[in-house]
A and B are shown apart, each in its own frame.
Chain A
């Protein structure tokens, strides 16, 4: 029931259309019920005619037939053709109505389903955009995609086909049953006596089938995983010349999968004949019972003929009950998985400070601590305090896992500090809306993610309505303009990513720098975003940045000391705590972490000089070297 409620929730306002579709289907079915009637009347008319009896004597008493009789004149030698034409036309009209109702019911349900599913997709998409980053870091991307695509498709198929199909079946069943009852109640009951057996049999079968089915799927999955593993490791396979071994392994699993497939199909090959047998038995029972009724003049021959058709209507579709039940099970699972996404809480976006207030770039961390899980003792940041003046350029340095990126995540309000507060322009961060903060703090992310679209769209991602000149200016600063115009086939219109040109790590980083610059941020953050760019280019980019970002507060997280040497201040973090901070000059005077790194440059040069010097002394070695070079 709960699941049904959820399905209704998905179908949203369109669920009422399904009611309408249901009504149309019932209409279609009732019209369909008339078709055998026409045959019945034709037969009875003819019997009456050949018997030279008045139709009144043998005509059926049921009201539907009476209605149709009303249309028709008394049959006599002169109007045989007319009556038959009328019957044919009535039949056609009935069929036309049936087709019409069916078509409109189906299109209505399709229309509603597609509308509802589109809305569901949109909701899922925007919901996933709105949930906090923490949710994404906890849930694997593949799983989310599977839910948003595969599970949605399962629900869509169920809503399009099975909902309508079930309604149709119910309508047919009761419609035909009603028609049969209107002819003769006892006969009707005899004609459905095996129905419970068939239905229970179907449900039992599909239960059993689904058990074997899931085992079969599991073996199929194993096979897929094996292939996946083999293909991704094909170089290892070839390197060790293990092709035959792999083929043997695959053959074994393929064989197992085949065996389960055969088991599944054998089950089917028992079920379908069995249900056929039941259906034919039921039909035979109906025929024999009907025969007794006709011969005892309890029903007319026409009624008998019509009854045969109604019995067929009732019985055959019943075999699908099991299938619908099993698909309902799968849909339930899909619906629950979809709702687990929709029920995740979204981020709070609002804030008190007006959007147009610039950030100035005065930042203060006051005793900020942070941990991912509330109850965990594992502090990522411990009591971090520092103050940054507008326009300052600050470097964050420290080993991996020291908490550098967390400082930035807190500043962007991707996460909230567990204690302490962060101030911008003297106001608590929480009074700024997330939209405000994020649009004014430009972060060049560690992983330079690009979208598969044109290079221009990628650079203008944060400001889609940018003029191409702005894009070019940003690209020039990030030192990617020349590559775009000279190397890429379609210049700024080149498609990048999966379906287009693949960029090197350094090129991607430069594009993402340009992308951030274009947003014209008040605070600029480089989160280890120049690691794949060579030192010379990085130096050029920095030179350009200094020109245009003079008053912009800048954070640099870097692994290379050359990237941060000219920062106003350097904060060294280790295990979530600030261990050193000061200007370059101050820090090299202290014998700390920074000094150690700084000294490397000097020691390395010494080391190499020594090495070469040592070699140069050994002249015979040099000689040998020359010989081998030649």
Chain B
């Protein structure tokens, strides 16, 4: 089994397949992606042209006039028309940049939200299909972060980070083109600096990555330490270990500080160093460019020099942006891997081809040489055989981990037998659809789970089409008419507004509303007050009457009332019979019953005094 709790997704995968797959999600939004790229490139183009306008302005509107002015010793009235012309061009380009920016932010935003929506949709749908064995091995919190944070992270990569990358590439490209158009020698000078910047950038990024990973790891250790020492505060206080815990924490927080410092420090170094690299280029421009402007036939104009100087001091920016994209892509790699590992997960329990619906289930169930295991040498259920007639109620008893829950999970087809067959009404359920079976099951789980909403919503969960009358009948059926007045009550997140017993009663009503052919219950052991317990008992009695039922029972009264008791131990049935039969046998069941009866009586007196 894959352990999803602690599995570390190492960065072994290459970045390109990941990006390819991620971009696959944008296929549906081609329109946005294409206009996004086009407008980012247009922005870059416009921004790379601006220095040229500035240069032309100096060269054509300023310098000649100033020269004339100086030569005429200030005796001519300057002509502003050229100046206005260039400023208008400058302003128009500026406005188009603003317009382009609007389009690409609009598109990028749409790509982000649409793709995030799609990824979350994919993940959630997959999670609904995955089988119990997957959930047995995955922590809810772990899965949650896939849907919430990881999906956000990767979509930010293909929207906002992508803007930077495309802009950076466009900027480098257009600047290069423009510079070559004006003077290829000086262009080479500026461009020669770019690879050096990338090299530097890569080196520093690596260091940042190393320390930021380290600090993230320590950060989760710090959270864990807070969690542990707050949850365990009673232990710390009663053993007077507060100071030791604090000093242990100090060691940890010092490690965190160290790696966090270096990661932030390299981040802080990063930009100034790259800018300095750009400055080297600018200095070269002053030298070579300055030379070119001199002489009788100057190779370039003053404006060109100013423009090249501008390019040289700006070229670091696209370099930063491109390498930031690369770094972010790397950072998202593991998030992407985790997402796709879920999306690609095999659904183990699913309908086979050509499977047909159960028409009506009577409730005969037969286990034929059924074995179930994850690893062959550790069978959970071993070669189990039994036959249940429609209408019979079965109590499953035995130690925790003996295989009781596995049996009911097999009946419900949450697990499927690895070997052997399970027949329902004489038909192998593997040839039938899962939905047609589950629709006829009524299941009450050990910890009753409710969903946010009203009591009514939760009961209707068992049958969406139920009328108000059906709901009232269901409540009456299990003897809790008083809930009729509470139907509009909000149960809160996970049913937190209700007590355990109330939740259990509602989950009974929910199961009854489905009018199941087969009733399955994992009885709760948690402490419930007497009144509720008595009510639950009546509820159970009503439900199991004339209905095939499997009950993992803890309450002796429930066990006794079942038609048949299966004692399960280490994946095998060791005793099988009615309460009376097994009592006479004086075997495992007898001693279990005796011990539990005594404890139950003791508890009764202690609790009900």
Interface string of B34-63 (1 = CB under 8 A from A): 000000000000000000001001100111
The distance in angstroms between the C-alpha atoms of A288 and B88, with both chains bound, is 9
Question: How many A residues, CB 8 Å from partner?
Answer: 164
A399 to B67, CA, bound (A): 104
Provided the pairs A280-B97, A629-B577 are in contact, do residues A611 and B62 lie with their beta carbons within 8 angstroms?
A: no
- Complex contact B127–A234 (CB within 8 A): yes
Question: Given the known A-B contacts A118-B257, A251-B121, A273-B102, are A84 and B602 also in contact in the complex, defined by CB atoms under 8 Å?
Answer: no
A3 interfacial contact with B, CB 8 Å: no
B63 touches A628 (CB 8 A): no
User: Do A250 and B87 touch across chains, with their CB atoms under 8 A apart?
Assistant: no
Which B residues lie within 8 Å of A559 (CB)? 602-603, 606
Picked from B225, B451, B583, the residue with its CB within 8 Å of the CB of A229 is: B451
Digitize B78-113: 1 where CB-to-A-CB distance is under 8 Å, 0 elsewhere.
Answer: 101001101100110011011101100110111011
Residues of A within 8 A of B129 (CB): 243
A186 CB-CB contact with B under 8 Å: no
What 20 additional pairs, Cβ within 8 angstroms, besides A227-B144, A295-B78? A42-B305, A43-B302, A47-B302, A95-B275, A125-B249, A125-B253, A133-B233, A233-B450, A234-B128, A254-B121, A262-B110, A269-B102, A269-B105, A283-B90, A295-B83, A305-B306, A498-B224, A559-B603, A600-B601, A607-B597
Binds B, one of A108-116, A171-179, A189-197, A386-394: A108-116
Q: In the complex, A226→B109 CA distance in Å?
A: 24
Q: How far is the CA of A237 from the CA of B135 in the complex (A)?
A: 13
Q: Is A148 an interface residue (CB 8 A)?
A: yes
- Bound-state CA distance A326–B222 (Å) is 28
A428 interfacial by beta-carbon distance below 8 Å: no
* B62 and A294 within 8 A (CB): yes
Selecting from A99-107, A362-370, A469-477, A483-491, the interface stretch reads A99-107
In the complex, what residues of A have CB within 8 A of residue B58's CB?
Answer: 301, 304-305
Contact of A291 among B62, B232, B241, B313 (CB under 8 A): B62
Between A and B, 15 residue pairs with Cβ closer than 8 Å are A42-B286, A81-B291, A95-B275, A95-B283, A129-B246, A233-B451, A234-B128, A236-B445, A265-B108, A283-B94, A301-B62, A399-B609, A438-B240, A445-B234, A600-B601
Whether the Cβ atoms of A612 and B94 lie closer than 8 Å is: no
Distance, CA A301 to CA B578, complexed state (A): 107
Most buried by B among A87, A272, A295: A295
Q: What is the CB-to-nearest-CB distance from B111 to chain A, in angstroms, rounded to a whole number? A: 10
- CB-CB < 8 A to B112: which residues of A? 261, 265
Give 3 nearest A-B pairs by CB, closest first: A280-B94, A265-B109, A106-B268
B66 touching A149 by the CB < 8 A rule? no
> Given A276-B94, A284-B87, A296-B78, A145–B283 Cβ distance below 8 Å?
no
Contact of A628 among B249, B284, B581 (CB under 8 A): B581
- Judge if A61 is at the interface, Cβ distance under 8 Å: no
Chain A contacts for B116, CB-based, 8 A:
258, 261
- Asked if residues B239 and A247 are in contact (CB atoms below 8 Å), the reply is no
CA distance A257 to B124 in the complex (A): 15
Cα-based distance from A501 to B215 in the complex (angstroms): 26
Closest A residue to B595 using CB positions? A535
Does A210 reach chain B (CB closer than 8 Å)? Answer: no
A561 to B604 Cα, complex, angstroms: 13
Contact indicator B237/A106 (Cβ below 8 Å): no
Closest residue of B by beta carbon distance from A300? B66
CB–CB A42/B290 < 8 A: yes
A232 adjacent to B494 (CB under 8 Å): yes
**Which B residues are CB-close (under 8 A) to A560?**
599, 602
- Flag whether B24 is at the interface (Cβ < 8 A): no
A348 and B242 alpha carbons, distance in the complex (Å): 13
A125-B246, A559-B602 known; A106-B283 Cβ under 8 A: no
A253 CA / B29 CA spacing, docked (Å): 21
Q: Say which residue of A113, A238, A273 sits within 8 Å of B132 (CB atoms).
A: A238
A344 to B595, CA, bound (A): 49
**Inside 8 A of A612's CB, which chain B residues have their CB?**
583-584, 586
**Minimum Cβ distance to chain A for residue B278 (Å):** 8
B91 (CB) vs chain A CBs: closest residue: A284
A277 to B61, CA, bound (A): 24
Please, how many angstroms separate the alpha-carbon atoms of A434 and B603 in the complex? Answer: 35
Task: Check if B606 sits within 8 Å of A239, measured CB to CB.
Answer: no
**Stretch of A49-57, A374-382, A543-551 on the interface side:** A49-57
With an 8 A cutoff between CB atoms, is B340 at the interface?
A: no
A203 to chain B, nearest CB (A): 20
**Contact across chains for B54 and A308 when beta carbons are under 8 A apart:** yes
Q: Within the complex, what minimum Cβ distance (angstroms) separates B216 from chain A?
A: 11
For residue A228, which residues in chain B have a CB less than 8 angstroms away from its CB? 140, 144
The answer, yes or no, to whether A182 is at the interface (CB within 8 Å) is no
**Distance to closest chain A CB from B289 (angstroms):** 9
Complex Cα–Cα for A223 and B251 (A):
38
Interface residues of A in 234-267 (CB under 8 A from B): 234-243, 245-247, 250-251, 254-255, 257-258, 261-262, 265-266
Stretch at the interface among A9-17, A66-74, A419-427, A615-623: A615-623
Contacts of A262 in B (CB 8 A): 109-110, 113
Which residue from A236, A270, A283, A535 sits with its C-beta under 8 Å from B449? A236
CA of A535 to CA of B578 in the docked complex: distance in angstroms? 27
Interface string of A515-541 (1 = CB under 8 A from B): 110010000000000000001000000
**Chain B residue contacts of A615, Cβ below 8 A:** 580, 583-584
The docked-state distance in angstroms from the alpha carbon of A130 to that of B91 is 64
What's the nearest-Cβ distance from chain B to residue A575, in Å?
9
Most buried by B among A114, A136, A400: A114
Set of chain A residues within 8 Å of B468, measured between Cβ atoms? none
Which residues of chain A come closer than 8 Å to B306, judged between CB atoms? 39, 43, 305
Given A91-B283, A559-B603, A274 contacting B98 (CB threshold 8 A): yes
Could you tell me if B593 and A608 are in contact, using CB atoms closer than 8 angstroms?
yes
Of residues A42, A246, A593, A601, which shows the largest number of chain B Cβ atoms within 10 Å of its Cβ? A42
Give Cα distance in the complex from A223 to B87, angstroms.
Answer: 51
Cβ–Cβ contact B241 & A47, under 8 A? no
A565 at the interface (CB under 8 A from B): no
Report if A240-B438 is in contact (Cβ < 8 Å); known contacts: A269-B105, A301-B66, A304-B62: yes
Task: Report if A126 contacts B (CB, 8 A).
Answer: yes
Residues of B within 8 A of A601 (CB): 598
CB distance from A275 to the nearest CB of B (A): 8
Residues from chain A with a CB closer than 8 A to the CB of B583 are 608, 611-612, 615
Nearest opposing residue in chain A for B520, CB measure? A239
Whose C-beta in chain B lies nearest to the C-beta of A559? Answer: B606
- A608 and B584 CA atoms in complex are apart in Å by 10
Cβ-defined contact, B70 with A58, below 8 A? yes
A107 touches B269 (CB 8 A): yes
Check: A350 CB closer than 8 A to any chain B CB: no
Interface residue stretch chosen among B258-266, B318-326, B419-427: B258-266
Which residues in A have their C-beta under 8 angstroms from that of B69? 295, 297
